[in-house]
Amino acid sequence: MDLYQETGYHPTRSRPAFDSVHDPDQDAPYPGLYRCLGCGEVIALARGRKLPPQNHHRHSSTQGAIRWQLIASHAPR
């Protein structure tokens, strides 16, 4: 899966924070940018905020449920 083993150029690619997918209406584990896996919508969350609820935006039946994935963060650990 992880093709970015070199350090320095893409140091965030191998961090587990960017691999996990989060359900709506949960506490966001990190501040940063989250992308909806169903439709690609991107949101920015500040530290301590919750992920938007399932009714944040509309999906077609083929897009499925809203699921959020962290795509960028200032300080993931």
State in angstroms the smallest separation of the CB of 28 from Zn ion. 16
Q: String of b and e for 40-70 (b: at least 16 CB within 10 Å)?
A: eeebebeeeeebbeeeeeeeeeeeeebbbeb
Q: Which is nearer to Zn ion, 36 or 51 (CB)?
A: 36
Q: Which is nearer to Zn ion, 14 or 24 (CB)?
A: 24
Residues 29-48 that bind Zn ion (CB under 5 A): 36, 38-39, 41
Query: Is residue 31 exposed (0-12), middle (13-18) or buried (19+ Cβ within 10 Å)?
Result: middle
Q: Which is nearer to Zn ion, 10 or 26 (CB)?
A: 26
Q: Does 51 bind Zn ion (CB under 5 A)?
A: no
Residues that bind Zn ion (CB under 5 A): 36, 38-39, 41
